[in-house]
Structure formats: C-alpha cells, structure tokens
Chain A
Amino acid sequence: MTRTRRTAAGLAAVWGLALLIAATPVAASHGLEYAVKANYLVRFAAFVEWPPRVFSSAQAPVVICVVGRDPFGRTLDTAVRSQTAYGRPLAVRRPAAATELAGCQIVYVGEGGAAAMTAAESQPGLLTVTDEASSDERGAIHFVISRERVRFHIDQTAAMRRGLTISSRLLNLALTVRAR
C-alpha cells in the first residue's frame, strides 16, 4: 500500500512538472482533418448540379457558406482559390447568423449552427453539409471519420427535394446513400 501511495505521489509530482512546462498555450496540430474537409467542400461544387435559376448569371460564383463555429480558417479560402466548378469560380462567405443563407449554394454547419438546418428547408438549391464532430442531425452530406479517413454519408432524398442532382462519382464514394 505504501508503495502505491508513493507511486501516486510521484505521479502527481510529474504531473505538476508537466503543468509548468506546458504552461504556454499552443494550437493543436490536427489541421489535416479539416484541410481534407475543406477540399471536399470545394470538390462538392463540381460534382453537384444546381437548378440554373439558383445562379444570377453564368459567371456567378458557387458560394460556400460556413455557419456556426468555423473550423477551417484560412484553409478553406486557400482551397477555394483558383478552383472552378462547371466554369464558375468559388467563393466563401461566413454569414453572421446561421439563418442568413440567401445566396449560398453549399452550407457547412459548424458547432452551434443548427438553426441553419431549419432555415435550409425553405431554400431550394442549398446543399447542406453536416459533420459528425459538431452535430448529429444529418444534412445532404454528413462527414464522418471512418478507419482514420474522412468519409461521408449522402442523403440523396434530401438533396433531390431541393432540386440538386448528385453525380454518381460522388455517390460511389459515400459510405452509405439514403435514396428512399
């Protein structure tokens, strides 16, 4: 018993030391997961067909909106630069409120942005993208981590309800496709 008490005390001392060493805050370097998700959002623009009335002109950009907490930061803006989808440029917007989705074609729902899901119901031509890491409600595309890779589930019914057509190449990559 005394030996384990001594071990416990030793452990507490090591922990105290580690607390002192690790006193300065540092950003966790887990950026790869969100870099992959950001690049997926950019690819989605090229593998989903929107009804033409959604765009104001032939050169209007495909707008990716991020509501709730933004986990991408600069990564998404970098990924969007010099990429095109069906000849259209891409743009990123971060609306102040989760319900301000006018003009968005893709919306990524971050933590705290659940209100966007209800607002999206009444907006045609909006691709909702949710993330297992920040919500359980599933949009048309739902990010998950599977076998240490970023994968997704597709709800094709929800997409079709909003007039979107998802390319079969994207459907083939999904872990599951809800098509009924």
Chain B
Amino acid sequence: MTAGAAAAGPADGASPAAQGAGPGEPDLSRLSLEELAMVEVTSVSRRPEALADAAAAIFVISGEDIRRSGATSLPEALRLAPNLNVQRVNAVDYAISARGFNGYEPSNKLLVLVDGRSLYSTLSSGVFWDARDVMLEDVERIEVISGPGGALYGSNAMNGVINIITRSARDTPGTLVSVGAGNEDATFAVRHGGRLGEAGAWRAYVSGFTRDDSYRLTGGDATDAAAGLRGGARADWTVGENRLTLQGDVFDHEVAVNEGFTGEETRVSGRNVVGRWTRPLAGGELQVQGYYDRFERTESGGVEDSDTWDVSVQQAFGRDRHRLVLGAGYRTVQSRFVAAPGGAFLDPAERTLSLTHVFAQDQIALTEALTLTLGMKFEDNSFTGQEFLPNVRLGWERPGGDLVWGAVSRASRTPNRIERDLTLPGFLVGGDFQSESLTAWEIGWRARPRARMSVSVSAFYNVYDALRTVSIDPVTVFPLTLTNFGAGETWGVEAWGSYDVTDRWRVSAGLSTLNKDLGAEPGMDISALAAAGDDPEYQVLLTSQTQITDRLDLDVRLRAVDALTPSGTDGYVEADVRLGWRFTDALELALSGQNLIGDRRVETGDPARQRAFGRSVFVSLRAGF
C-alpha cells in the first residue's frame, strides 16, 4: 500500500545554507521532518551513470510526472521532455528525436533503453514506437539526455539517449488495477506483486490497449486502428552481497501499415528476457547484464524478424580523486527480412550482425569544485569495423551551489540493414554506406537561484559528417545507392526550469531551439538531404501542477511547436488538462483532456504517412490494494 506522498511542491525556503557545495557541515538541526525531506542532495549513488551525467543536458521525467500527465502510452509520456521533439505520425506510430533530424524515416540518432535493453532497430536505426511500450504505472523514471551519451551508453547514442527505468519489484507490492477509456483509446493494466523470501520481491502484469483511427487530412477516418496486449514479470532478490534481477515481457500488437490508406493490418510481436547481477567488487561495484530480445513484424510487404543476444560487463571503482568505470559488451543480432516478390528487398535476406564495445571513463576531482571526466569508447561492428569515440567533460561547482559544465564528444551512427542491403534491381542497389559521425560541443548551467526555483540551460553546436545521401550512378543514373555525402552544423539552446509559487502549486517551463545548416556535396544527392529531417525551429512547454486539496490535483500543460522545416507543416499550440481525484489512498479517478485547442492538427511532414489528430478525452480509474 502506498502512503499518500507529501503534497506536490517543496515546502518553504528550506535551508538555503544547506545546499552549498563547499566544505564544512551544514546545520540541519533546525529543520522539521518535512523540511528534511526536501533538502536536495547530490546522490553518491552506486550507479556510475548518475555521476557522469551531472555535466550533461539531462531531463528526468518521474513516474509521478507521468501519472499526472494522463499519458496513455510511452511516446505520449515522452512529450513531457522539453529536449525531445515528438511527432505523432498515425494512430500508433511516432517520430521522436532530440536536436533535429526528426521524421519517420530520418529519425535514427536516438538510443532508447528500457532497463538497459536497447530498443534500437538494426533494420532501420529507428525505434518502432508502434511496438514498444511499457506499463507506465511501473516506470520509476525516464532520463532524457540530449547530446551524445558519453562512454557509458551503448553505440548509436548520437543525438540523445532515452533511458527508461522501471521500478524495482520491491517497490510494487500488492495489486494494482488501472482501467481507462476515452473517445480515442481504451487501456487496462493489472499488476500483482509479492515478496520472495526475506529480501526479494516479484511482480507480474498484463496490460492492453485499443486505439481508434486517426483522420485523413481531407477528413474521414484513416483506417489505422490498432490494439495490443502485453504481459511480463520481474523479480529482484539478493543472495549475500549479490543483487539479482530477472525480468521479461511478451507483446503482441495489431497495427496498420502506415503508408497509404490501405487499412491493411500488420502484426508486431516480440518477447525479451533480461538478467542483471550486481555486487561489490574491488572496492567498487561490478555489474553484469545479459538479455535476449526477439522482434517480429508480419505485413503483406514482408516479414521481418530479429533475435538479439547481448551481454555486457561494467566495473566501477574509486580511488582518491578518481571514479573509474570500465566496461565491455558484445551483441549479436540475427536479422531476417523476407520481402514480398516484386518490391524492394534486402540482399542478403538474412544477416548476422555483431557489435563489440569496450569503454573506460575516469571522473577526476581536480579540485573540490572542478571535475574532469575523460571517456573513451572503442566499438567494432560488422559493417564499418572499428570506431574510436572519445569525450571530455568538465564540471565546475561554483561557490553559490550552481554548476557550469562543458563537453566535447565524438559520436557515430553505424549503418543499418536497409542502408547496406536494400535492393530493387535496376533502381536501387546496396552499397558501402559508412557510419555517420558527429563532433558535439556543449556547454551548460544548472542552478537553484532560490530555494523554490531550479533552472537548467544548455547550448550545443554539432558538426556532422558523412550524413546519408542518395546518389545516382555517374554514368547510367540508375541504380541509385545510399552514400555519405551530407555534412553541416546544427546549433541551438535547451532550457527548462520550475518554480514553486506556493507549497501546492508548481509552474514549469521548457524551451528548445534548433538551427540547421546542413547540405550535401554538389551533384551527389537527389534526396534534397531528406536525412536532415523535418524539424521545428523552436518548441515551448509550459506546465502548471496544483494540489487543489489533499485529494484533488490539477495539471495543465501547454505546448507550442513551430512549423516544420523544410516540409512547411503548420506549427500548433495545444493544451492538455488532467484532474485527478483520490477518493481514498487506494482509489483514484482521473479525467484528462488532451490537445483541446485545435480541431485538427498534423504533427509530421511525411506526405505518405501523415495523419491528422483531434481532441481527446479520457477517464481512468486506478485502484491499488
């Protein structure tokens, strides 16, 4: 049973003195119990990532934020991050990116992980959001890092990393039933958890959804209704000093093909098993993780399936001023794509890809205020061989308690199967597509100017090279090949902050801007650098979270997205509202309205795939015992 958490928003100016970064002991003795619960600490957590990411543009979406947003799927929950651009394509498909390059096809520079398991597709380098979801009630937090992920995250973390972390089974005992229905979709989720011996716990869940058609731009239904079912379990336990986790999921979704309006159905399904073992070792911590992931998509144009096996090891330890993390991993993906005759196909139809990585990161406390992080990642993949990816970060904790940081990193995106193997005889032939590369320069500032206020600002300047282009044969025009003649720069600013107007009312804002100067070598690209994506030049989010009474909370969110360039798709301003009423500690009723301002809006520019969406209302009931 979860006790009602303290009211939203922190209490009054709790001990500004206690938040200083300097030496000497803060005086907390005059704080009340509730005020102690509000003091922010830099966590000396065991997770190496938490330390390294302090000097990065990282936005954390908490499980509580997700609940209060009324989001019914993972992509909708990701709209809460101001550093992500989320474009809904149709009833279930989304294009999500950070720092540009968005669009259903171009979006290939984001690494998405669920508890360490990558959702990245080796077929397209994207994430199939119509197939990937998690039970939102069991999400602990989502860390959205814009910019290269540094040495600790796997490969292809080029423009950003979305790290979805689910709650430990220890934190989800009892039964939870959640049902909801609205004019656009209906969902349900049932979860039950219990203890495993003295120090262990388990849980199992089943969840499902149905979603209505979206709209054609000309009016009328788009015949892209979808439905899906998911289930899974997780167990966490300890044996002596060893902490173990075993989790797995199974899913089966029926969605519609998203090109054209055929209403043709496609089925995506999959399963995964993840195991994790952590223990103290050599004065630090050792973590070993392995997973298996199977993915299948069946549609009339082809059948795709892939089996991924991944094992990785990471050892963190500290000595004097150093916090070192060393790691290595190996992943093998067996990918098959059998195309319907007459269309484009992959040659060879089946391929086994392997990816090895080794990394080292040292976080050095040069002085008490200055931290230098040096990271180096070495990757070897089946397509392009070896890559060296160094990165340097410097963090300066100023006497007032704020943090100034800067970073330079090198990142790359390895070729996917479509880029290497796609063939349509006479028209397109598989070539020698290389990795795209990025040198990212970033700078940022994070502060708490007042006890009730927090601010984070970051700016980036990205230099890209070897971006994807489509080239004609110099002699015969056809066949075309995919090549790497694109390059250029992007730059922009990301900022977010929150302010507690009163103890029960928090206001937050987020802004991201993007400027692009990308192009291809003259005469070498007939795609008009489609790989550069279709992005807004700015995006603004405003949120108000209020605790009207102890049992009633109200969230209002406004988002304004600029028109997309180059497609010219209109920008829009939309509002979401959610009213939650907690009858008792165990029962909550919520009424939410999403996208309430405009009658119809289109979020993405891809002409064959874009659909229109309208207003939606949703009622949900959540009961926990």
A contact residues vs B (CB 8 Å cutoff): 4-5, 7-8, 11, 14-15, 18-19, 21-22, 24-26, 28-33, 35-36, 39-40, 42-43, 47, 74-75, 78-79, 83, 133, 136-138, 145, 147-151, 153-154, 169-180
Contact = CB atoms under 8 A, between A and B. Distances in A.
B388 A5 contact: yes
Closest 4 CB pairs of A and B: A25-B320, A4-B388, A22-B321, A33-B41
Contacts of A74: 25
Interface in B321-372: 321-322, 362, 364-366, 368, 372
Contacts of B198: 137
Interface of B is mostly: loop
A11 B41 contact: no
Nearest to B374: A15
A145 B62 contact: no
Contacts of B1: 176-180
B528 interface: no
A176 B33 contact: no
Interface centre among A24, A30, A35 (most CB of B within 10 A): A35
A177 B243 CA distance: 22
Interface string B299-328: 000000000000000000000111000000
Contacts of A178: 1, 173
Contact of B374 (A14, A28, A32, A75): A14
Nearest to A4: B388
B26 A32 contact: yes
B3 A133 contact: no
5 contacts: A7-B410, A29-B21, A29-B23, A30-B42, A149-B40
Contacts of B38: 149
B390 interface: yes
Given A25-B320, A78-B25, A180-B1, A33 B43 contact: yes
B243 A136 contact: yes
Contact of A172 (B4, B62, B171, B365): B4
B29 interface: yes
B475 interface: no
Contacts of B6: 172-173
Contact of A151 (B31, B37, B362, B366): B37
Contact of A148 (B34, B43, B321, B365): B43
Given A22-B320, A176-B171, A148 B374 contact: no
Contacts of B23: 29
A114 to B, nearest CB: 9
B615 interface: no
B39 interface: yes
Contacts of A36: 28, 36, 39, 41
Interface in B1-52: 1-6, 18-19, 21-23, 25-26, 28-29, 31, 33-34, 36-46
Nearest to B362: A15
Given A138-B170, A145-B41, A176-B3, A170 B36 contact: no
Interface centre among B5, B37, B171, B364 (most CB of A within 10 A): B37
B586 to A, nearest CB: 12
A106 B387 CA distance: 54
Contact of B42 (A32, A35, A137): A32
Nearest to A145: B43
Contacts of A175: 2-3, 5, 171
A26 B365 CA distance: 9
A31 B33 CA distance: 19
A47 B362 CA distance: 43
B80 to A, nearest CB: 15
B376 interface: yes
B548 interface: no
Contacts of A42: 29
A15 B360 CA distance: 12
Given A14-B392, A35-B26, A79-B29, A173 B42 contact: no
A176 B5 CA distance: 8
B281 interface: no
Contacts of A147: 60, 62
A70 to B, nearest CB: 15
B508 interface: no
A165 to B, nearest CB: 16
Nearest to B385: A1
Contacts of B238: 136-137
B365 A177 contact: no
B42 A33 contact: yes
A144 to B, nearest CB: 9
B597 interface: no
B199 interface: yes
Contact of A8 (B28, B372, B388): B388
B161 to A, nearest CB: 19
Interface centre among A18, A25, A39 (most CB of B within 10 A): A39
Interface in B52-99: 60, 62
B201 to A, nearest CB: 10
Interface centre among A22, A83, A173 (most CB of B within 10 A): A22
A22 B390 contact: no
Nearest to A22: B321
Given A147-B60, A178-B173, 12 more contacts: A4-B410, A7-B410, A18-B372, A18-B374, A35-B28, A39-B28, A43-B33, A133-B44, A138-B199, A145-B43, A176-B171, A177-B3
Given A26-B368, A33-B43, A148-B42, A7 B320 contact: no
A109 to B, nearest CB: 13
Contacts of B60: 147
Interface string B171-202: 10110000000000000000000000011000
Nearest to B389: A4
A175 B368 CA distance: 32
A4 B199 CA distance: 48
B368 A29 contact: yes
B321 A25 contact: yes
B46 A148 contact: no
Contacts of B366: 18, 21-22
A45 B15 CA distance: 22
B290 to A, nearest CB: 20
A79 B41 contact: no
Interface centre among A26, A30, A36, A179 (most CB of B within 10 A): A36
A59 B43 CA distance: 38
Contact of A11 (B19, B29, B40, B374): B374
A148 B392 CA distance: 25
B159 to A, nearest CB: 20
A47 B34 CA distance: 12
B519 to A, nearest CB: 22
Given A29-B21, A36-B41, A173 B33 contact: yes
A145 B44 CA distance: 9
Contacts of A7: 388, 390, 410
